[in-house]
Amino acid sequence: MTAIAHNENRVVRLFFYSSITWLLIGMTIGLILAIKYVWPNFLVWGEFLQKYLSYGRIRPAHTHVVLFGWLSMAYAGGLFYIIPQLTRKSLEHPRLAHAIGILWNIYIVAAIVTLSMGYTTTIEYAESTWPLDVYLIVLVAGAAYICFKTIAKRNESQLYVSLWYFMGSLIWLPFLYIIGNIVTYFITGIPQALAGWFYGHNVIGLWFTTVGVGFIYYLLPLLSKNPLYSHKLSLIGFWTIATFYVWNGPHHLQNGPIPAWLMKAGVIPSVLLIIPVWTVLANVFGTMKGKWHMISENVPLKFVVTGAIFYLITCLQGPFQSLMQPSAILKFTNWIIGHAHMPLFGAFSFVLFALFYHALPSLTGRKIYSDTLMNWHFWLSIIGFLIFAFTTWTAGVMQGFAWTEGKQYGVPFLEVVVSLQPFAIARAIGGTLMFIGQIVFAYNVRRSIKDGQLLSVEEKSTSTA
Amino acid sequence: MSGQSKERFMRPFIIGASLLFFIGVAATVVLPFYDEVMQRENANAKIKNYAIDSPEYRGRQVYIREGCHVCHTQFVRPVKADSSLGPVSVPEDYRHDYPHLLGSVRTGSDLTWVGTRWNEQWHRVHLKNPRQVFPGSTMPSYSYLSDQDTEDLIAYLMSLKPAPSTEGR
């Protein structure tokens, strides 16, 4: 394939480098939250910090920065990078795409500032206020337009699997976002909660998951140098995720104040989600056949496969905890925090790390600065995340059962909080390791841009193939 | 690989993906909206339908601004883990809640009916310094709130009591 056009390269780099910055900022806020969880007076130095870094105010800032600054900007960059490769067509409107990147960064800054000032809609993952929502919708619609136009003008008649996932996601995201951020503005009570959770769940399922799976399908054959195992499986996977995922919102109010028919309508498709995740994993394992040894020397491949496995665990855990009985114990506990981090960090951030390491050489013309640091990034991320995840899961089960014994408010509730402090400390330690891993990542990327070994002419022509 | 020759058109994907999406929207967002339990109000909903200039209304805005809903839920389920929290929540309770404050995690305890648990003076001490009444509590101190905000917030919290007609539900 041809080298990437200059303008397109500039756009992808803008999105990639911005997203790494937001990754570090978002995780810094996350770490502050984890420390406040153990030591509530952390950073309560003077009224200004106490107020503007108050737990309830910066928690939505953490989710916003990692979801929309890190993951979504990296995703948009990934789409702008991969779509031209798969269509053999240079990106349409690269200038517009560049402008969207700059405006997107302004959105994140504005969201952090307004959230920490206390302007919030309270709808989870949609906390930013409506003027900002409208602003982001315009940007997302613009990015979707650019992608669709590029695909429509493609020079490759075949639509590769990844492109189906990208097209689906780019249709779903704007509508999802409108339902979660704009429709909720006009309704009250439980219907508002349902619209909110429709969005809250599906932004994971029909944006972060589906674009991420498209990345897996793009990266895996390239990195393992094996053709995709089964075309049919990927077809089944795409249509089943499109059918079942949309129905999942109500399980967030499981056992809550919603009619019974709605709980069933939410849970049955949640369980059926095992089908699409299994098709992806069967495809991953099938494609890896005979190539597993490559994982030991190829860090990006290691990231993709690990990400895919975390995606599997997420989608086995999710259906389980959506059932009425497990939900009665696990809902509202720390378990959920572990679960929520798994698709977003364990699965799809890992896929993104692989994409970055794979794409950077063709964007900068330089190799990745250090393989050792890539490995450090991998191991710190995964060990940190496993500590984080297992402590939240264990603490969640303990919390849930303690509540069933009647420790639901006042001093008995407090006893549970105090007894779970060791877990909260372990969680902060896990988070610290995850964060250090990302510093290593950012440093390695920075050094690669400046001091990475230049690609030879031959490598240049194959690096994007 | 003969099946691959079919994927040459964008339209089936665009139409299929949109259609499946809007079926899900209709079932889980639109239909529930028109379910009659969602459109009815009960005595609790009336209590929580605060007048815009009331201290309770202003207190609710403080609750939202400070992100109390980030750590405290406001719904009671018919399950063992919620057995001593008070009357079980029904959709009618929330008819006028805007925005809803159901919450998703209990870092702190559920506050659906917190008005039945403590008095104003207790809240005054607890909000300023949670660890004075609950040693080991991880709740932030809200000593930076103005007196007005604090009193409004307490008025709101104290209003969260079940209407007599819904007791024992």
| B30/B59 same-domain check | no
Tell me the average pLDDT across A311-317: 95
* The residue count for chain A: 465
Q: Tell me the pLDDT band of A5, cut-offs 50, 70 and 90.
A: confident
| B77/B152 same-domain check | yes
| B49/B82 same-domain check | yes
| B124/B156 same-domain check | yes
What CATH number has the domain bearing residue A13? Answer: 1.20.210.10
Residue A370: count of CB within 10 angstroms of its CB: 17
CB contact under 8 A, B67 and A60: yes
| B87/B142 same-domain check | yes
Give the pLDDT confidence of B25-62 residue by residue, as tens digits. 999 999 999 999 998 999 999 999 999 999 999 999 99
| B48/B123 same-domain check | yes
Phi, psi (deg, nearest 5) at residue A375: -65, -40
Quick check: is B85 in a domain? yes
State which residue of chain B sits closest to A58, comparing Cα positions. Answer: B67
Domain range for B25: 9-37
| B88/B13 same-domain check | no
Q: B86's torsion region: left (phi>0), alpha (psi -120 to 50) or beta?
A: left
CA A345 to chain centre: 6
| B96/B27 same-domain check | no
Q: How many helices (H) and strands (E) does chain A have?
A: 21, 0
Quick check: is B99 in a domain? yes
Find chain A residues with C-beta within 8 A of B80's C-beta: 328, 403-404
Cα–Cα distance for residue pair A103/A194, rounded to 1 Å: 30
| B15/B49 same-domain check | no
Amino acid occupying residue A306: T
What is the ipTM for the molecules in this complex? 0.94
Asked if A118 is an interface residue toward chain B (Cβ–Cβ < 8 A), one would say: yes
Residue A166: count of CB within 10 angstroms of its CB: 29
Give the list of residues 6+ apart from residue A101 with CB closer than 8 angstroms, or none: A11, A14, A15, A18, A73, A76, A77
Cα–Cα distance for residue pair A438/A384, rounded to 1 Å: 11
Domain range for A457: 6-463
Q: Is B56 helix (H, G, I), strand (E, B) or coil?
A: helix
B140, A367 contact by CB (below 8 A): no
Find chain A residues with C-beta within 8 A of B96's C-beta: 188-189
Number of domains in chain B: 2
Quick check: is B2 in a domain? no
CB contact under 8 A, A189 and B8: no
| B22/B100 same-domain check | no
Give the pLDDT confidence of A166-198 residue by residue, as tens digits. 999 999 999 999 999 999 999 999 999 999 999
Q: What is the mean pLDDT of chain B?
A: 93
Give the pLDDT confidence of B118-149 residue by residue, as tens digits. 999 999 999 999 999 999 999 999 999 999 99
Quick check: is A1 in a domain? no
What CATH number has the domain bearing residue B137? Answer: 1.10.760.10
Positive or negative: CA dihedral A193, A195, A196, A197: positive
Quick check: is A209 in a domain? yes
| B161/B80 same-domain check | yes
Cα–Cα distance for residue pair A263/A322, rounded to 1 Å: 10
Phi, psi (deg, nearest 5) at residue A92: -75, 150
Q: Is the pLDDT of residue A398 over 60?
A: yes
pTM of the model: 0.95
Find chain A residues with C-beta within 8 A of B25's C-beta: 175, 179, 198, 246
Cα–Cα distance for residue pair A14/A11, rounded to 1 Å: 5
Find chain A residues with C-beta within 8 A of B7's C-beta: 158-159, 164
Give the pLDDT confidence of A43-99 residue by residue, as tens digits. 999 999 999 999 999 999 999 999 999 999 999 999 999 999 999 999 999 999 999
The two three-digit tokens of residue B141, written as one number: 């101190």
Give the pLDDT confidence of A418-463 residue by residue, as tens digits. 999 999 999 999 999 999 999 999 999 999 999 999 988 777 665 5
Give the pLDDT confidence of B66-108 residue by residue, as tens digits. 999 999 999 999 999 999 999 999 999 999 999 999 999 999 9
Report the candidate in A104, A111, A89 with the shortest Cα–Cα distance to residue A26: A111
Phi, psi (deg, nearest 5) at residue A332: 75, -5
Number of domains in chain A: 1
Q: How many helices (H) and strands (E) does chain B have?
A: 8, 0
Supply the angle between the helices A72-87 and A130-152 in degrees, to the nearest 10: 10
Cα–Cα distance for residue pair A71/A212, rounded to 1 Å: 10
| B23/B96 same-domain check | no
CB contact under 8 A, A246 and B65: no
Quick check: is B162 in a domain? yes
The two three-digit tokens of residue A387, written as one number: 């500590």
A268, A340 contact by CB (below 8 A): no
